[in-house]
Amino acid sequence: MTQKGFYYDQTTCIGCKACQVACKDKNDLDMGVRYRRVYDVEVGKFPKPHRLHFSISCNHCDKPKCVENCPTGALYKREEDGIVIHDYDKCIGCRLCTWSCPYGAPQYKEEEGKAGKCDGCSDLIAKGENPACVDACVMRCLNFGDIETLRQKQGQNADGNGLPNSEVTKPNIVITIKSV
């Protein structure tokens, strides 16, 4: 199995949220539901405070808590590429996935009474294209591909400002962190 994952370069992100908007548009998401989220993180202290941006979606973890705690099997890890998929028809809307994921990837859709999440734009990947968020990034700080290739090229770091310890779920993301 080839494990797919994301690379995110915090040093070049300007917090424009184009990735977030592209994801919402691609997935036709209602107000408040965001499969990719961009957060502002304030760091430092007077007289040198600083604002960082952080873009995150599902990390298609090696040990996904959402899959582990889903009582119906609506969430599963695809064998061919390791992407965590949500089977909408099996979802009962119990929200265990939303409470289990330390990254907040599964999102509850109030009007539908079910959850949903990033699937890495599986339909686009199947056609050899990038996820919508990657192509929308104006600063080119997002990338998607074979996680081992990304790690060889960008390093092993999967921990960032405000994120849980990567040992919990073994996320398939590589992050270049901005030093402050």
- For the residues of 59-123, what is the DSSP string, one character each? ---SS-HHHHH-SSS-EEE-TTT--EEE-GGG-----HHHHH-TT--SEEETTTTEEE-----HH
* Strand-pair category, 4-9 with 173-176: parallel
Closest CA to 52 of 38, 68, 63: 38
Map residue 149 onto helix, strand or coil. helix
Contact 66, 84 (CB under 8 A): yes
Specify the pTM.
0.91
Contact 108, 34 (CB under 8 A): no
**pLDDT tens digit at each of 180 positions of the chain:** 689 999 999 999 999 999 999 999 999 999 999 999 999 988 888 998 988 899 999 999 999 999 999 999 999 999 999 999 999 999 999 999 999 999 999 999 999 999 999 999 999 999 999 999 999 999 999 999 999 999 999 988 988 777 889 999 999 999 998 776
